Amino acid sequence: MQDWFAQNWLALLGAVTGTAALLINYLSYLHNRKKDNIDLKVDCTAHPKQAENVQALAETESKEPWDRPSMVEVYVVAVRNLGGIAAPLSRVGVVTQSGTERLALVRKGQYMQEATSGNVEALPAKSEREFTLYLKRGEELYRVTSAFAVDQTGRRWEANA
């Protein structure tokens, strides 16, 4: 038996070291694979001043068009990126009780535009961004049933409101 160890100690050391390296690389792969995914969490809440904003919209109805707001903030959709890579978003919004989708608005320069792929910057890893939904003058206050965010792969992330 000792004669065998004397002749094959290098092969035995290589087998043990190779097996340990394979195990370490496999565990590293499992750990890194989890970090390379886009993982979004969506949340929707009423704007903190929703009631005041809707009331201000109604109270200023008799004023001149340049003296009154044309839209007010009513809901806030928070999108949190829990993944390890940046998440490019293609759409962010809510689904109303009637089943229609309303997209959030984002500021582009001095204009407000719908939160679509051309208007929304990628959400960095481990970060959160809030998107605001507005009520336009002449519209009824809508009830939200769910909020959604769609990443550029087409996967839809939803949360009940």
Query: Does the pLDDT at position 1 exceed 80?
Result: no
| Span 76-90, average pLDDT | 92
Structure tokens at 47: 């704007």
* pTM confidence score: 0.76
Q: How far apart are CA 31 and CA 46, in angstroms?
A: 38
Domain boundaries, the chain: 1-35, 38-160
pLDDT given for residue 33 in this prediction: 72
pLDDT given for residue 64 in this prediction: 85
**What would the pLDDT profile of 102-156 be if each residue is shown by its tens digit?**
999 998 888 888 888 888 889 998 999 999 999 998 888 999 999 999 998 899 9
Q: Is 17 helix (H, G, I), strand (E, B) or coil?
A: helix
| Span 54-69, average pLDDT | 84
CATH class name, domain 38-160? mainly beta
